[in-house]
Structure 1
Amino acid sequence: MRIAFYAPMKAPTHPSPSGDRRVAQLLWRALEAGGHEVTLASDFRAYDGAGDGDVQQALARRGADIAAALIAEWQAGSGAARPDLWFSYHLYHKAPDWLGPPVCAALDIPYVAAEASYARKQTGRAYAAGLEASLHAIARADAILSFTPEDQEALQPVVKSPACLHRMAPFLDAAPYRAAYSDRQRHRAVLAQRHGLDINRPWLLSVAMMRPGDKLASYRLLGRALNLIADPPWQLLVAGDGEARVHVEEALRPIGDEYVFFAGKQDAEDLIAFYAASDLLVWPAVNEAFGMVLLEAAAAGLPVVAGNWRGVSEIVASGETGILIGPWDDVDFAEAVVELTRDNKRRIAMAEAAAARAESEHSMTAAVTVLNRALEAACALRRQARQ
């Protein structure tokens, strides 16, 4: 099929790396691997981070203009250019889909969404316009793929049919991570020289953008927890950058400069070596839906200590591939880090289990199967609606 792809939160071509961009790129690759021709409908970013009603209305007007232009182009063009299906990734009250529903209505094509969410508590609040637009898109959808049970449960009362809901495990292509892990010692030597790390000590790794809100809250919790550990045997490698960097540095400074090393922003490809070379990923994951970083770490054979927020347990099997800590528990987080940095045998067993789980439950192959099944169901539902 010819698929028009759109990500209202962040396009797969956006210059700033993030989990959102990463998942958008992976979905694009999975759709192509499923035999489909994928084109970017628009790189229009519909995100309002401040809950400003005027901003939301301006975004709605801009979205309506873009949708009208797409409709005119595709209705006037040849059949070869017209999409057979619209696919939107990550729509919610802060970044609703102003494009997909009107385009699909005008062209009479199926509308499919992945990681759509509905927060009823936002009714009548600052994001009311975005929530209403998201609800309209969700109700219009012929298929919705959810990465977490939490999202799927919240959608059940507002979809047009339970048959529209499809469960999909977060996924990636594990091959590059496996290859990097098999070359772990070389990656470790390179990073040790580049960042001044001691190759003979355990390396903790954190990977995240440095921005206000949940990410900064995670960094602050990480700083508090690691600062509880006296005379640590490890060193912490921090990969990430952003507008809140000064606050992140402040949060981690009490640990000691001799223990914390900042690597700055890294591309997804470069991060693979960081995962493979490290000994333990540490990330509180405050309010994260599931966290692509956790899945990438697992694929590279890196166990984790993480906060048990939302869908994190979909990625991390606590006690098997890492240790999950209750939200905001600095003491338990520190104790888990101490436990796994001291117990090499257990940490290595978790590393092997994490890599195996990523391969068996979160593979690109499995994602392609689920995606194609959902697309077929969406097309069937749209055909029924035409009768």
Structure 2
Amino acid sequence: MTVAFYAPLKAPDHPVPSGDRTMARALIKALDHAGLAMTVASDLRIYDRAGDAALQTELIKQAQKEVARLLSAPAAGTWQCWLTYHNYYKAPDLIGPPVARALGIPYVQVESTRARKRLSGPWARFAEAAEAASDQAHTIFYVTARDAETLRRDAPAGQVLTHLRPFLDRAELPRQSDYSGAMLSVGMMRAGDKLGSYKLIADTLALLNPALEWQLDIAGSGPAEAEVTTLMAPFGARVRMLGALPAGELQHCYERACLLFWPGVNEAFGYAYLEAQAAGLPVVAQDRPGVRDVVAGMQPAVADGPHAMAARLTDMLTNRALVEDLGAQARAQIAQHHLLPAAAGTLRTAIEGMI
């Protein structure tokens, strides 16, 4: 069984790291783990950041040429299913639906979002295309409960919605942390939601008792790095800026840290939560939709603000047994629900059923 894979927003071999690229690569590994042959059908990027009508017209033309190329390629005759990752109004799948129709094979999506409010305005053409692609899908694998709400509301009759939990592209847990190091924050530094999380971190740290011993390491970089550095400046040497770290170095950080501190402002789900908990780190965040999908245990309410997170940090920094207990719960949750075997089983069952 051969699955044609496509990620319109960012191809798996795109040079710039991101959560989208990570998830695309993880899906490919999960398909392989499931015993499903896979080929990346296209690397054509379909993405309009700003709502540019001329760009949309040009990308539609490029997609039409790509459809013609794929249908004339010998490989197309081997495909038994088309799977697209992350179809939405800024990056609609303009290729998979016509190819799947022409070949008479099932069309499937992973982590798609519905946004019918975008059917008018600068992204209207792309929003229509994204909605049409979602309508054609036999099955949509949703990753978060928030996505499921609109997918279920707007699903055409007979469409199957299947929960594919966020997962790491590994079959076994990594080495467990020894909790000997600092608190750890991991996140890109850019304006918007990410910067919002960093502001909450700074506000929370300012509320900690000055007599409390703590250290925070921050792994990440980006265009808002200067703003983040300014936010953390009042804490002096207590906050260390590590910059962007390769995966191996970041894993070493998880293996030493005592907890992960990341509020999670508008996170889809956040790979750092999965990676940290896999190493046995408890998480201090806020009770937000994306956080709920992957973080073990209850988190402080958003309405309770930095004071609630400061209290939670204080509890953990003064109680090693609590850290170890919460870390064990987090690690167990990852092992059961968020590794390759679980994801592969979900994908294999659904795709084989379609075929």
Q: Distance in 1 between matches of 2:350 and 2:31?
A: 11
Q: Distance in 2 between matches of 1:252 and 1:145?
A: 39
2:107 aligned residue (102, 108, 111): 111
* 1:25, distance to aligned residue in structure 2 (A): 1.1
Q: Distance in 1 between matches of 2:297 and 2:342?
A: 23
Alpha-carbon contact 1:170-1:362 (below 8 Å) kept = yes
Q: Distance in 1 between matches of 2:189 and 2:102?
A: 41
The verdict on how the C-alpha distance between 1:269 and 1:66 changes in structure 2, with shifts beyond 3 A counting, is farther
User: What are the ranges of 5 or more consecutive residues in structure 1 without an aligned counterpart?
Assistant: 189-198, 380-387
Q: Which digits, 9 at most, give the CA deviation of each residue in 1:185-212, with x for residues without a partner?
A: 5xx8xxxxxxxxxx6xx51111112222
Q: Distance in 1 between matches of 2:93 and 2:304?
A: 33
Partner residue, 1:330 = 306
Alignment of 1:119-134 (within 5 A): 119-134=115-130
1:210 aligns with 2:221: no
Partner residue, 2:225 = 245
Q: Distance in 1 between matches of 2:329 and 2:148?
A: 27
* 1:324, distance to aligned residue in structure 2 (A): 4.0
1:287 aligns with 2:283: no
2:166 aligned residue (154, 170, 183): 170
Partner residue, 2:72 = 72
* 1:121, distance to aligned residue in structure 2 (A): 2.6
Secondary structure, counterpart of 2:236 in structure 1 = coil
Q: Which digits, 9 at most, give the CA deviation of each residue in 1:307-344, with x for residues without a partner?
A: 2222311211334xxx3442682222222222221221
* 1:228, distance to aligned residue in structure 2 (A): 2.3
Partner residue, 1:193 = none
Q: Distance in 1 between matches of 2:154 and 2:322?
A: 45
Q: Which amino acid aligns with 1:297?
A: A
Alpha-carbon contact 1:96-1:130 (below 8 Å) kept = yes
Alignment of 1:223-372 (within 5 A): 223-231=202-210, 232-254=212-234, 256-319=235-298, 323-326=299-302, 329-372=305-348
Alpha-carbon contact 1:146-1:165 (below 8 Å) kept = yes
* 1:175, distance to aligned residue in structure 2 (A): 5.4
Q: Which amino acid aligns with 1:253?
A: A
Q: Distance in 2 between matches of 1:176 and 1:376?
A: 25
Q: Distance in 1 between matches of 2:61 and 2:192?
A: 28
* 1:115, distance to aligned residue in structure 2 (A): 0.3
- TM-score of the aligned structures, taking structure 1 as reference length: 0.85
Secondary structure, counterpart of 1:281 in structure 2 = strand
Alpha-carbon contact 2:266-2:290 (below 8 Å) kept = no
* 1:41, distance to aligned residue in structure 2 (A): 1.4
Alpha-carbon contact 1:210-1:243 (below 8 Å) kept = yes
- TM-score of the aligned structures, taking structure 2 as reference length: 0.93
Q: Distance in 2 between matches of 1:125 and 1:257?
A: 46
Alignment of 1:20-59 (within 5 A): 20-59=20-59
Alpha-carbon contact 2:182-2:217 (below 8 Å) kept = yes
Secondary structure, counterpart of 1:84 in structure 2 = strand
The verdict on how the C-alpha distance between 1:31 and 1:324 changes in structure 2, with shifts beyond 3 A counting, is farther
The verdict on how the C-alpha distance between 1:278 and 1:174 changes in structure 2, with shifts beyond 3 A counting, is farther
Q: Distance in 2 between matches of 1:317 and 1:78?
A: 43
User: What are the ranges of 5 or more consecutive residues in structure 2 without an aligned counterpart?
Assistant: none
Aligned-residue CA RMSD (Å): 2.1
